[in-house]
Amino acid sequence: MAKDKSPRRPRAETPKGFRDYFGAEVTERKAMLDKIAEVYHRYGFDPLETSAVETVEALGKYLPDVDRPNEGVFAWQDEDADWLALRYDLTAPLARVAAQYRNDLPSPYRRYAMGPVWRNEKPGPGRFRQFYQCDADTVGAPSVAADSEICAMLSDALEEVGIPRGDYVVRVNNRKVLNGVMEVAGVLDPTNPEKFAHERGIVLRAIDKLDRLSVEGVRALLGEGRKDESGDFTKGAGLSGDQAEVVMGFMAAKRDTGAETVARLRELVGASVIGSEGVAELETIAALLDAQGYGPDRIVIDPSVVRGLGYYTGPVYEAELTFEILDEKGRKRQFGSVAGGGRYDDLVKRFTGQAVPATGVSIGVDRLLAALRAKGRVGAESHGPVVVTVMDRDRMADYQAMATELRRAGIRAEVYLGNPKNFGNQLKYADHRKSPVAIIQGSSEAERDVVLIKDLALGAKIAAEASVEEWKSQPAQSEVARGGMVAAVRAILERG
Amino acid sequence: MAKDKSPRRPRAETPKGFRDYFGAEVTERKAMLDKIAEVYHRYGFDPLETSAVETVEALGKYLPDVDRPNEGVFAWQDEDADWLALRYDLTAPLARVAAQYRNDLPSPYRRYAMGPVWRNEKPGPGRFRQFYQCDADTVGAPSVAADSEICAMLSDALEEVGIPRGDYVVRVNNRKVLNGVMEVAGVLDPTNPEKFAHERGIVLRAIDKLDRLSVEGVRALLGEGRKDESGDFTKGAGLSGDQAEVVMGFMAAKRDTGAETVARLRELVGASVIGSEGVAELETIAALLDAQGYGPDRIVIDPSVVRGLGYYTGPVYEAELTFEILDEKGRKRQFGSVAGGGRYDDLVKRFTGQAVPATGVSIGVDRLLAALRAKGRVGAESHGPVVVTVMDRDRMADYQAMATELRRAGIRAEVYLGNPKNFGNQLKYADHRKSPVAIIQGSSEAERDVVLIKDLALGAKIAAEASVEEWKSQPAQSEVARGGMVAAVRAILERG
């Protein structure tokens, strides 16, 4: 009788586009989130933790990056026919919460949230389908004082996590100014907002591509259209040369000082009411920040910030790191954007029919962490636990008692719990663990009530091959009375 | 021409079985997780954070609670045909990681993990489809020294988060002892392990139900079977009275001291090799814990711990809170289990074909938090931020500067950002925020360069109705020079 074939073994693999985080990768991110939360808290923001799962209906179709291929969410149908999905950001759940608890929450409601979000996109190098966001938003505050507060807080948060002043800049722009520019360019008619909606859509998508396309590429999309490298033709907005010039002028309006930039924008928006309102908002934000000491060394008015202009309804802000790093190929490049946000007054309206003003920022924690690592500001080699080796497996209780004693003294410690037969393996293990100190007590040491204390920082290199005897002869090793173990270990840790 | 009907508004609702956590609910859980992580770290455990999403293939069918109706995971098919799912615990991802990185991880590998897990189950009162787990496991350590270490660490973790000694007990049992008992009862033949597998399955499921059924119910399931309240009949294992008696004796084997319990278990397993091995393991665990000072006031051998016996392969442990709380109906009841774990030597084998010994514990963080709240050990009313009110909306910069000054002094503060017209609303808001102090500066105060400082703890009750004038006359309010604002606020906060 043939035996059943054993079933195929499952593959031990992270799903495509997902990854695991080990040790310092986890603690460094946590330390950064803790620092940011501390800043948010100091500004009066309260934590909110929604579940990873929302109804598809509540999430809606509000992904900010509308141009991405394979845009989308991870979704499935629940047993009772509701479609559920993993949140793709922390803003959509906030809009749902602001609507659901509108009678209970304080108004304005300042909240922060941090946690993973999921995007069902084609994964790429360094681009994962699960990543962290760390957001702060104010719901129910119509004035741009709320926007300026978020900008100041973002600046504080960046400094708190270790980006010194001068290494970053928060740039502020305003969607309303763009609307004014569009009015001047003749693609927005305030008396008939529906008119030219199609053209404006193309304009918005074009300028949102400024990062990826050249200025020429954007200009082509404003006019007749553009053929990309693959030969595909994208139809443009059909603006005349003069019209396109006005829009392009908006993105290039930055001058040396905030006052000059504001003056230039005022020129561009001319008589447009919405445009003038936008310029006045930028002026107010600059004045408020100035009064609190956030000058142009930290926060600047910059109309070239176009990311998200299509998504937001008023002020838009973006934090950029200004230092250069070396990319994978050793080329210098600017690190770029690590946080962005703005005002989005229509999100809650989806649920309630009532417009609720809201503004907020999202910090890309993983990118920010990468920046700090690139600058060597996190990730300094930290050492592992003290390892108590096992010379005599019948005396496990003694070894565990040593580890307990070290821990009670606040020293991270563990007993080797693999097969103790091969002492070399124990030392290899301690090496792998980056242990600063190994404790050794064989029977002869036990008889004399002493322990050997091995300073592994001194002896790491030959650890893998050395015999017990060789080890014992090393200068990095000292014999101390059992009662003096904790003090001797502490002395080594403090020295190192 | 009829206008298009506007689309139906989405419902602003958390999906069924999920919930939102606000403010202190978030920070209290975080504080607890931080404390537990600190203990795990001190024992040499390293953090691991896997993604929420795994392939269904990697997760397998290893849900511990095999008896639940609607057991299951949230799963969906990825574009490239892989089935993906949300993790239902933190152990299955660890098994995948241990297999995937087996050449890179230290061995033994001690890791901790904390985060949400998801169960696709019918939600019930207090039972959610997303909840937190906080696990520590040792992979690659065959000796029960690893189990005893986990028990000691669990005990330390409970004390660290605020459960004093005496209010909890960690109970230890061993699956091997049960196997020995089954051998004696004649439903396990060591020379033919396949034989009686069906009967043993029923026995395991029966004793796992000891919590829910009476002793009589379990006994019935060991014998002919049992009719439940709805009239449904569950077929039993078909054991004779004598056979059932042996199994029942196992669960009732606890005696006054560990030594007596061990002696009783030795009687029960008789000549069974596996049973004797299990009893010896329990003896060793007790001796190791004793040597480190973890006596029976914290950790006891208790064969009545049956939860998860079917899932684990060796020692099993469970932490129970021993104090009484009042349930929703005001009845006293034991709080019960808050953590459980044990040895599961076969999980990694699924992937690699090689058995890898592993043991670990999972703390039910949300239950533990509920226990601490029930005892009043967390959730003490904490106050909100200082609120700087807005008397003159043109002087927003001054108000924001006050908040900035307070924050720089380490005091949590915010400016009121709603519509400032109605001063009563500002005070209602401060009340809602549990603000300890409100700062008021109208034009007359500004002229004299002073601020009014309102101690809200003294004046909270009449806050909602009072006019500005009434407020100004109150004793809980004082006028201080603008330059003395921070010191005056700090004095109130320190007093309160």
In total, the C-beta contacts within 8 angstroms joining chain A to chain B are 287
- Identify the band that residue B83 occupies on the pLDDT scale cut at 50, 70 and 90: confident
Looking at residue A495, its pLDDT comes to: 80
CB B222 within 8 A of CB B186: no
Q: What is the mean pLDDT of residues B385-413?
A: 94
* Contact between B52 and A48 using a beta-carbon 8 Å cutoff: no
- pLDDT score of B464 more than 80: no
List CB contacts of A408: < 8 A, sequence separation 6 or more: none
Restricting to A residues 369-398, those with a Cβ less than 8 Å away from any Cβ of B are 384-385, 387, 393, 396-398
Alpha carbon separation from A447 to A450, A451, A482 (Å, rounded): 8, 10, 11
Q: Which residues in chain B touch residue A96, judged by CB atoms under 8 angstroms apart?
A: 12-14
- pLDDT score of A123 more than 90: no
The CATH number of A386-495 is 3.40.50.800
Range in A247-261, A294-308, B320-334, B477-491 with the lowest mean pLDDT: B320-334
Dist. CA A13–CA A490, nearest whole Å: 41
- pLDDT score of B471 more than 70: no
User: How is chain A split into domains, by residue range?
Assistant: 24-374, 386-495
Looking at residue B261, its pLDDT comes to: 94
Dist. CA A92–CA A110, nearest whole Å: 15
The CATH number of B16-139+344-382 is 3.30.930.10
Residues of chain A with pLDDT > 90: what percent? 59
* Contact between B50 and A429 using a beta-carbon 8 Å cutoff: no
- Identify the band that residue B324 occupies on the pLDDT scale cut at 50, 70 and 90: confident
Looking at residue B281, its pLDDT comes to: 97
By C-alpha distance, which of A181, A174, A177 is closest to A147? A174
Range in A173-187, B54-68, B158-172 with the lowest mean pLDDT: B54-68
Q: Given CB atoms, is B99 within the 8 Å cutoff of chain A? A: yes
Q: Which residues in chain A touch residue B433, judged by CB atoms under 8 angstroms apart?
A: 44, 106
Among B8, B30, B42, B382, the strongest candidate for a mutation testing the A interface, having the largest count of A CBs within 10 A, is B42
- Average pLDDT over all residues of chain B: 88
- pLDDT score of A293 more than 80: yes
A113: which 2 tokens?
């949230």
Q: Which residues in chain A touch residue B292, judged by CB atoms under 8 angstroms apart?
A: 397, 400-401, 404
Looking at residue B1, its pLDDT comes to: 42
- pLDDT score of B4 more than 60: no
Question: Which range, A116-120, A343-347, B190-194, is most confident?
Answer: A116-120
- pLDDT score of B45 more than 90: yes
- pLDDT score of A7 more than 80: no
Q: What is the per-residue burial (b if ≥16 Cβ within 10 Å, else e) of B243-264?
A: bbebbbbbbebbeeebeebbeb
Looking at residue A380, its pLDDT comes to: 60
Tens-place pLDDT, residues A424-468:
899 899 988 999 999 999 999 999 999 999 998 776 655 555 666
Which DSSP string do the residues of B158-174 spell out, in sequence order?
A: HHHTT--TTSEEEEEEE
Task: Name the residue in chain A with its Cα closest to that of B407.
Answer: A42
**Is-same-fold flag (A24-374; A386-495)?**
no
Among A3, A5, A8, A13, the strongest candidate for a mutation testing the B interface, having the largest count of B CBs within 10 A, is A13
* Contact between B417 and A97 using a beta-carbon 8 Å cutoff: no
- Give the position of tokens 């109309």: A303
CB A96 within 8 A of CB A58: yes
Looking at residue B151, its pLDDT comes to: 97
Dist. CA A421–CA A409, nearest whole Å: 29
In the DSSP assignment, the letter for residue B342 is: E
Please tell me which residue, B326 or B422, carries the higher pLDDT value: B422
ipTM for the predicted complex comes to: 0.89
Task: Name the residue in chain A with its Cα closest to that of B50.
Answer: A20
Residues of chain B with pLDDT > 90: what percent? 59
Q: What is the mean pLDDT of residues B332-337?
A: 83
Dist. CA B34–CA B130, nearest whole Å: 20
Dist. CA A142–CA A379, nearest whole Å: 41
Q: Given CB atoms, is B78 within the 8 Å cutoff of chain A? A: yes
In the DSSP assignment, the letter for residue A127 is: B
A451: which 2 tokens?
């322990």
Q: Given CB atoms, is A230 within the 8 Å cutoff of chain B? A: no
- Identify the band that residue B456 occupies on the pLDDT scale cut at 50, 70 and 90: confident
Task: Name the residue in chain A with its Cα closest to that of B121.
Answer: A79
Q: Given CB atoms, is A424 within the 8 Å cutoff of chain B? A: no
- pLDDT score of B169 more than 70: yes
* Paired strand residues for B127: B124
Dist. CA A294–CA A126, nearest whole Å: 33
Dist. CA A492–CA A406, nearest whole Å: 13
A24-374 folds as BirA Bifunctional Protein; domain 2 (3.30.930)
Looking at residue B468, its pLDDT comes to: 66
Q: Which residues in chain B touch residue A292, judged by CB atoms under 8 angstroms apart?
A: 397, 400-401, 404
- pLDDT score of A2 more than 50: no
Evaluated on CA atoms A72, B91, A433, B150, the torsion sign reads positive
CB A14 within 8 A of CB B51: yes
- Give the position of tokens 């922060």: A112
- pLDDT score of B478 more than 50: yes
- Identify the band that residue A471 occupies on the pLDDT scale cut at 50, 70 and 90: low
Looking at residue A347, its pLDDT comes to: 84
The letter for the amino acid at B55 is T
Q: Given CB atoms, is B69 within the 8 Å cutoff of chain A? A: no
Looking at residue A475, its pLDDT comes to: 63
Looking at residue A416, its pLDDT comes to: 95
* Residue in A13, A53, A97 closest to B15 by CB: A53
State whether residue B49 is helix, strand or coil: strand
Looking at residue A177, its pLDDT comes to: 94
* Residue in B9, B48, B400 closest to A353 by CB: B9
Please tell me which residue, B230 or B496, carries the higher pLDDT value: B230
Tens-place pLDDT, residues A49-78:
999 999 988 988 644 444 443 358 898 888
- Identify the band that residue B473 occupies on the pLDDT scale cut at 50, 70 and 90: low
* Contact between A292 and B58 using a beta-carbon 8 Å cutoff: no
Looking at residue B209, its pLDDT comes to: 82
CA distance, residue B280 to nearest chain A CA (Å): 14
* Residue in A21, A107, A433 closest to B106 by CB: A433
List CB contacts of B267: < 8 A, sequence separation 6 or more: none
* Contact between B418 and A107 using a beta-carbon 8 Å cutoff: yes
Q: What is the mean pLDDT of residues B270-274?
A: 93
Please tell me which residue, A210 or B269, carries the higher pLDDT value: B269
Task: Name the residue in chain B with its Cα closest to that of A18.
Answer: B51
- pLDDT score of A398 more than 60: yes
Cα-only R_g, chain A: 30
Where does A104-182 show beta strands of DSSP type E? Answer: 109-118, 130-139, 168-174
- Give the position of tokens 């020692």: B315
- Average pLDDT over all residues of chain A: 88
